[in-house]
């Protein structure tokens, strides 16, 4: 969801910066590390606030973006997960 938010923002649906996504990734990685080590799965203070902004942006994107934009962003994410580039493909 975090990556989809960034991809949709990149196409003009909402605002999300690369820096926000990078910071959010660090927050979620730290939460996973704590969860694995201590069995406590939480987002703390500022991290929670960062994800609240991302979730709110994603919610607005789902209400505003056309299905084609959501599908394209999802396809890009799947390519990324498969080890390919998630850059936008040129329309033929």
Q: What is the pLDDT of residue 92?
A: 47
Average pLDDT over residues 65-70: 96
CA–CA gap between residue 33 and residue 91 (Å, rounded): 40
Q: Coil, strand or helix: which one is 38? A: helix
Confidence at 89, pLDDT banded by 50, 70, 90:
low
**pTM assigned to the model:** 0.79
CB contact set of 23 (below 8 Å; sequence gap of 6+): 50
Q: Indicate if the alpha-carbon torsion angle 68, 70, 72, 75 is positive or negative.
A: negative
Average pLDDT of the chain is 89
CA–CA gap between residue 25 and residue 38 (Å, rounded): 20
């Amino acid at each position: 969801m975090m990556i989809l938010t960034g991809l949709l923002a990149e196409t003009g649906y909402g605002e999300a910066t690369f820096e926000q996504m990078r910071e959010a990734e660090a927050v979620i990685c730290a939460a996973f590390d704590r969860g694995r080590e201590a069995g406590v799965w939480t987002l703390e203070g500022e991290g929670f606030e960062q994800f609240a902004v991302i979730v709110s942006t994603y919610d607005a994107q789902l209400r505003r973006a056309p299905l084609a934009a959501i599908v394209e962003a999802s396809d890009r994410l799947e390519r990324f997960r498969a080890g390919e580039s998630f850059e936008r493909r040129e329309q033929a």
